[in-house]
């Protein structure tokens, strides 16, 4: 995911992504399982814990984009303050939060704000992405996802509209290149074990007494 030819000092170690399985005592809601079991696979939409300037407007954009495209979607509120509409649409399943490692292999694409944890688990699941960044660190993630071929160009939160969001989602679902590239990177990431590599590095440092 990082740009090539970065000249890190010797004490910097690139271990690969770290990810954890869902809590052992967590069980998915039965209605969510049933929703995911129907074809076509839904997209997932979540914009993190940052509260935007108009959460109600963001909710309307999400709902209108999903309806315009005729897709199915799991939409999470998280900590963003997105207001769920009182009138429920059978094509949209609303959740507060759900473990990404469990969910992402069950969706067709991930629409998110650009958090590194979210992006890494989408890569691990081999799912194409649409990234809608709030701040600089999110935009960096969005640009890298685009440059490595798994996402459309960033859809800035400050300029997000039904047209822009629906166009990006349509592109990532309709163009096979995004899914193919995501599947290729998924295989590479599956060969890594970031946590085990981090433990190895720490043990090596400990043995040297540093």
Tens digits of per-residue pLDDT, 4-20?
677 888 888 888 899 88
Query: pLDDT tens across 121-176, in order?
Result: 999 999 999 999 999 999 999 999 999 999 999 999 999 999 999 999 999 999 99
pLDDT digits (tens, 9 = 90+) for 164-209: 999 999 999 999 999 999 999 999 999 998 999 999 999 988 888 6
Q: How many domains does the chain have?
A: 1
Residue 161: domain span: 36-208
Tokens at residue 61, please? 């954009």
CATH number for the domain harbouring residue 109: 3.40.50.2000
Residue 210 clears pLDDT 70, i.e. is over it: no
Spatial separation of the C-alpha atoms in residues 168 and 128, rounded to whole Å: 11
Q: What is the pLDDT of residue 9?
A: 87
Residue 155 included in any domain? yes
Radius of gyration of the CA atoms of the chain, in A: 18
Confidence of residue 86 (pLDDT cuts 50, 70, 90): confident
Provide the pLDDT for residue 112. Answer: 96
Domain membership of residue 197 (yes or no) is yes
Between CA 93 and CA 76 the distance in angstroms is: 8
- One-character DSSP codes across 154-206: P--GGG--HHHHHHHHHHHHH-HHHHHHHHHHHHHHHT--HHHHHHHHHHHHH
pLDDT in tens, 24-53: 888 999 999 999 999 999 999 999 887 677
Does residue 107 contact residue 42 with C-beta atoms inside 8 Å?
yes
- Cβ(133)–Cβ(139) below 8 Å: yes
Distance CA 155, CA 131 (A): 6
Q: Is residue 131 part of a domain?
A: yes
Please report whether residue 26 resides in a domain. no
Report whether pLDDT(70) > 90: yes
């Amino acid at each position: 995911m990082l740009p090539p030819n970065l000249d890190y000092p010797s004490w910097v170690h690139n271990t690969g992504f770290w990810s954890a399985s869902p809590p052992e005592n967590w069980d998915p809601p039965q209605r969510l399982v049933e929703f995911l079991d129907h074809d076509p696979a839904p997209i997932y939409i979540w914009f993190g814990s940052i509260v935007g300037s108009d959460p109600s407007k963001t909710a309307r954009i999400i709902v209108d984009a999903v309806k315009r495209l005729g897709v199915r979607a799991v939409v999470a509120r998280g900590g963003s303050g997105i207001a769920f509409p009182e009138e429920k649409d059978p094509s949209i399943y609303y959740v507060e939060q759900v473990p990404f490692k469990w969910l992402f292999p069950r969706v067709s694409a991930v629409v998110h704000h650009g958090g590194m944890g979210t992006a890494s688990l989408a890569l691990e699941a081999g799912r194409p992405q649409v990234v809608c960044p709030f701040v600089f660190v999110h935009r960096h993630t969005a640009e890298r996802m685009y440059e490595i071929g798994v996402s459309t160009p960033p859809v800035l939160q400050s300029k997000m509209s039904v047209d822009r969001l629906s166009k990006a989602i349509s592109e990532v679902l309709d163009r096979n290149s995004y899914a193919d590239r995501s599947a290729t990177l998924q295989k590479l990431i599956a060969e890594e074990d970031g946590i085990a590599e981090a433990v190895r590095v720490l043990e090596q440092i400990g043995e040297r007494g540093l």
